[in-house]
Amino acid sequence: MNPYISLIRQRSFWIPVLVLALFDLCLQTGVYRPYLKKGSFAANVIRNTDYVLEKRAEFEPTILLLGTSVAHQGLSLKTLNETLEPYGEKIQSIAMEGTELVVQDALVRNLLPKFPKVHTVLHILEISTPWVDQEDLQIHTLAMLGELDRRLAFPLIYEFNYNVRYDDLGFLAFKSIAYRRDIRDFILDPSKRLKDISRRKKEAKLTPWPHENTNLPSISMFPEVIDIKSCLKITNPGNGAAAPAGSDQFHKKAIWDTCGLGATKTPVKVERTKQVNNYFHRLKILHNDIRQVGLENGQKIKIIGVIAPYSEIIKNWRSPDRNRIWEEEIAKIDPTTVLLDYQASLDGKNNGDYYYDLIHLNKAGMEKFSAIFSADLPSILGLTRKK
């Protein structure tokens, strides 16, 4: 007899299978979601989406901010809303850390139908992203997709041209797989996790938007960092050097990580590659879905793309050819899309004071960039003051 057939005929084989199936069904109900590790991608997407929906009754937006951590950290919703208040407009953010376009699409399709007054989406874009776009699904992308509508996630990963593997499908289908590392950490140190959960519930929620950047450290705390080569040497976590006053080892490593992106992963020579074409294919799906949901809401949504500023240390990422490709591809997607270039908006002798690392702004940078952008925003939106 075939040994596999013999195995599945044994009752002892089905007992652990049944236990695992029941355990996964229990996780599918969402019973574990409140206990997810704080700061994990899955927990972040739950917290942010739940929060903007919870605040909808008192703060229903007419404008949505979309993007990755660059948008999440880089724009002050307080400043933008103070600017928009005289015009009767409100802006809410669904920008989140680590969100590839497929996750942004899932966020739009889950949240935008619930905000029927939204007439404009500000999409914060990063000039380098098409040249480093992912072909394989990353764990953090799967984790976020799994906490949104999974029925939507399965067709989306194929529509967005990912190389889908069986373990990717398993991650989306089974919570026992998606939560395995989180549950392991919970078992190893349950008291720490329970304390985190208790503190989280006591945190004061003072604003109607989910986040405002409070990071104080800056690149200028490392004055010898003047280019990629010096950055990799000085901020290397393995060099044993202490972080300067005001910084710490997490900040030092964040700078080093983004310097690594500048050194090896983002090409200075600009060409239309398979990755570039795939990125704009994905961007077209996202923008088309924004417009489609808008029409279902009774709105003809205007999309405004904003190319965010990066540190002057990676100034060689800026080039006329890269800008031209962006302009051409955005026009192909929809010629009505507005594309605004803010890459040089924070250039100057104080540039290092505004950046937490080479890509993300700190609190001072957020305030500076928000002031610049909000001054332009009424004219960008074509607003007139309410009487």
> Concatenated DSSP letters for 88-155?
T--EEE---TT--HHHHHHHHHHHGGG-TT--EEEEEE-TTGGGG--SBPPHHHHHHHHHS-HHHHHH
CA distances from 169 to 143, 158, 174, 181 (A): 12, 11, 9, 17
What's the CA gap between 101 and 67, in Å, rounded? 8
Cβ atoms of 278 and 329 closer than 8 Å: no
Structure tokens at 316: 């060689």
User: Residue 4: enclosing H or E segment and its boundaries?
Assistant: helix 3-8
**Which stretches within 219-309 are classed as H helix?**
228-234, 249-260, 274-296
Q: Give the residue extent of every domain in the chain.
A: 32-203+266-381
CATH number for the domain running over 32-203+266-381: 3.40.50.1110
CA 179 from centre of chain:
20
Question: Which residue matches tokens 């699904």?
Answer: 137
Phi/psi at 19 (5° precision): -60, -45
User: 0.85 exceeded by the pTM?
Assistant: yes
Spell out where the chain has E strands: 63-66, 91-93, 120-125, 302-307, 338-341
Q: What is the pLDDT along the chain (387 residues), one digit of tens a residue?
A: 566 666 566 666 667 768 788 888 888 888 888 888 888 899 999 989 999 999 999 999 999 999 999 999 999 999 999 999 999 999 999 999 999 999 999 999 999 999 999 999 999 999 999 998 999 999 999 999 999 988 899 999 999 999 999 999 999 999 988 998 888 888 888 888 888 777 776 666 778 999 899 999 999 999 999 999 999 999 999 888 899 999 999 999 999 999 988 767 777 778 899 999 999 999 999 999 999 999 999 999 999 999 999 999 999 888 999 999 999 999 999 999 999 999 999 999 999 999 999 999 999 999 999 999 999 999 999 988 765
